């Protein structure tokens, strides 16, 4: 079914009925469908949702609101909350903000003839949201190039954040899934390990390989070999069992050999354990030694900077957060905002306070809002469609508008909306952020109309049947793209 409507026909509808009158009808108690153009009425009725389950705002940028339904009702936005976190971070920190992960040493920082330091090697963490294993390898290689080889111990300084670790199974019981990763001042590779299943056609078996290799993680169980034609992505079950300072990943399932090598990513260790495991592996490969181990501590004020790694810029970082809806990165952005705006020892609460204060200086109406972790992976987070629309309008009028909009997924092209409206004329004409939880569906962003005008839209549905709103949202995007 084509829910779009021709531009000329839509203009005739606006003239004949008057959109202002339609909105007034909504305010006077008429049903939601009666306040929409005919094609959208049909799409709305097909959802079988109650008007009380949704909040919708549609507005021409720097122009009038075209639709406002339950606009001031606080609702759970799911991952649409990431728009708030990324915009507040961009506003408060600036597009060129970077995170520095740095090694320090006592004295002049130079090693002795045997490659040893005078005291511990200090690692001052900054909360880099996207520090990769490869970047850590490069940083450790810098130490080796400076002649450092034999370490007594490594002291990790996490003081930029306060106690921020979470129970990764608390939200939905899926403690091993990367989307539940805990924030930490030192997150490497998003805290996840890759479990690669490599095919052995001769033995007709799958060989599991842990990456990065770890003596603290082992694989138990077996994925059975199938000779059938590859049906698509293999379905493999995993269960992570912690114990003895390490973890066992129990695997099961069946995979067709014709599918070839495939991987799954899992959380197997806490963030501090994961870092230590990766550090030991890389440092050993580089020929380094570590006598005592890794512990938490504080970098002395007089310690000497030895080597460092600066992250990519914030304007690049938020593309990962919004286009691919990365939860732990969003959490780290909020914590960083708290550290920079309020002070070291940041928590999600101080980050939320900083974000709200920044938005309020932009005249964004944050009444009824509740920001907890900044990622939207929450049952308690709340936004209003009206307030979010005002934030989107403020972002549009900011000098940093291009950086923010380019971080959003392009409908039918990439990110979380790459499969939506791919065959529709709206393809490529909307920059959006989606949100999905049980009983929550949300989408917000910008749509370019055929006339050259741009519109912002916010749609949030909460309730057991919230999944039904997707077709209506797509129809709304199509309609706006044809205006």
- Looking at residue 8, what is its pLDDT? 41
| Pairing mode, strands 205-211 and 454-462 | unpaired
Q: Is the dihedral of CA 229, 235, 241, 245 positive or negative?
A: positive
* 238-254 confidence digits (pLDDT tens): 999 998 889 999 999 99
Confidence of residue 288 (pLDDT cuts 50, 70, 90): very high
- Name the phi and psi angles at 321, rounded to 5: -65, -50
d(CA 142, CA 277): 19
Instruction: Tell me the two tokens of residue 91.
Output: 């506003």
For residue 371, cis peptide bond before it (omega within 30 degrees of 0): no
For the chain, what is the largest distance between any 2 Cα atoms, rounded to a whole number of angstroms?
88
User: What mean pLDDT comes out for the span 404-431?
Assistant: 96
| Closest by Cα among 378, 377, 352, 379 to 366 | 352
- Looking at residue 19, what is its pLDDT? 44
* 110-133 confidence digits (pLDDT tens): 999 999 999 999 999 999 999 999
Contacts (Cβ under 8 Å, ≥6 apart) of 234: 197, 223, 253, 254, 255, 256, 259, 262
Whether residue 374 has pLDDT greater than 90: yes
| Low-confidence winner among 111-115, 207-211, 244-248, 301-305 (lowest mean pLDDT) | 244-248
| Closest by Cα among 136, 181, 189, 185 to 336 | 185
Quote the Cα angle for 415-81-414, to 5°: 5
Instruction: Tell me the two tokens of residue 12.
Output: 């005739």
User: What mean pLDDT comes out for the span 392-398?
Assistant: 97
* 319-369 confidence digits (pLDDT tens): 999 999 999 999 999 999 999 999 999 999 999 999 999 999 999 999 999
Print burial letters for 263-288: b (CB count within 10 Å at least 16), e (below 16). ebbbbbbbbbbbbbbbbbbbbeeeeb
Name the percent of the chain lying above pLDDT 90.
Answer: 88
d(CA 258, CA 135): 34
- Looking at residue 332, what is its pLDDT? 98
Whether residue 18 has pLDDT greater than 50: no
Higher pLDDT, 5 or 426: 426
- Looking at residue 2, what is its pLDDT? 38
- Looking at residue 14, what is its pLDDT? 38
Contacts (Cβ under 8 Å, ≥6 apart) of 388: 57, 77, 80, 83, 84, 444, 458
User: What mean pLDDT comes out for the span 53-68?
Assistant: 94
Instruction: Tell me the two tokens of residue 409.
Output: 């997924």
Confidence of residue 12 (pLDDT cuts 50, 70, 90): very low
Whether residue 443 has pLDDT greater than 70: yes
The answer to whether 75 touches 55, Cβ cutoff 8 Å, is: yes
User: DSSP readout, 281-323?
Assistant: HHHHHTT-EEEEEEEE----TTPEEEEEEE---HHHHHHHHHH
Whether the model pTM is above 0.85: yes
| Closest by Cα among 349, 350, 354 to 366 | 354
Whether residue 267 has pLDDT greater than 90: yes
- Looking at residue 9, what is its pLDDT? 39
Whether residue 446 has pLDDT greater than 80: yes
């Amino acid at each position: 079914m084509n829910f779009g409507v021709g531009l000329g026909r839509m203009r005739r509808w606006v003239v004949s009925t008057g959109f202002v009158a339609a909105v007034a009808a909504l305010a006077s108690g008429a049903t939601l469908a009666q306040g929409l153009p005919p094609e959208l009425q049909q799409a709305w009725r097909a959802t079988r949702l109650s008007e009380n389950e949704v909040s919708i705002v549609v507005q021409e940028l720097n122009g009038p609101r075209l639709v406002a339904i339950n606009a001031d009702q606080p609702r759970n936005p799911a991952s649409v909350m990431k728009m708030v976190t990324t915009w507040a971070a961009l506003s408060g920190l600036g597009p060129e903000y970077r995170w520095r992960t740095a090694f320090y040493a006592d004295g002049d920082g130079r090693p002795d003839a045997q490659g040893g330091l005078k005291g511990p090697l200090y690692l001052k963490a900054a909360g880099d949201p996207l520090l990769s294993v490869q970047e850590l390898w490069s940083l450790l290689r810098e130490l080796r190039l400076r002649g450092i080889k034999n370490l007594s111990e490594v002291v990790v300084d996490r003081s930029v954040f306060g106690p921020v670790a979470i129970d990764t199974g608390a939200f939905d019981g899926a403690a091993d899934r990367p989307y539940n990763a805990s924030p930490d001042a030192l997150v490497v590779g998003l805290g996840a390990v890759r479990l690669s299943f490599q095919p052995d056609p001769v033995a007709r078996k799958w060989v599991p390989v842990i990456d990065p290799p770890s003596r603290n993680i082992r694989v138990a169980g077996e994925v059975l070999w199938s000779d059938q034609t590859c049906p698509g992505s293999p379905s493999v079950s995993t269960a992570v069992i912690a114990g003895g300072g390490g973890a066992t990943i129990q695997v099961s399932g069946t995979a067709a050999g014709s599918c070839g090598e495939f991987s799954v990513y899992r959380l197997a260790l806490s963030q501090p354990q994961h870092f230590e495991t990766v550090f030991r592996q890389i440092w050993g490969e580089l020929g380094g030694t570590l006598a005592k181990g890794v512990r938490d501590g504080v970098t002395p004020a007089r310690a000497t900077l030895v080597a460092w790694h600066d992250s990519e810029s914030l304007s690049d970082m938020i593309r990962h957060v919004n286009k691919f809806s990365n939860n732990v990165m969003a959490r780290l952005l909020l914590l960083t905002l708290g550290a920079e705006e309020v002070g070291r020892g940041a928590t999600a609460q101080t980050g939320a306070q900083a974000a709200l204060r920044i938005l309020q200086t932009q005249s964004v109406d944050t009444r009824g809002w509740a920001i907890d972790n900044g990622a939207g992976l929450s049952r308690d987070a709340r936004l209003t469609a009206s307030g979010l629309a005002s934030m989107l309008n403020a972002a549009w009028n900011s000098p940093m508008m291009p950086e923010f909009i380019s971080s959003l997924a392009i409908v039918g092209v990439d990110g979380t909306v790459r499969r939506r409206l791919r065959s529709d004329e709206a393809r490529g004409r909307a920059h959006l952020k989606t949100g999905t939880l049980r009983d929550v569906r949300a989408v917000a962003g910008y749509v370019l109309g055929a006339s050259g005008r741009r519109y912002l839209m916010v749609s949030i549905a909460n309730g057991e049947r919230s999944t039904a709103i997707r077709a209506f949202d797509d129809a709304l995007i199509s309609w706006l793209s044809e205006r």
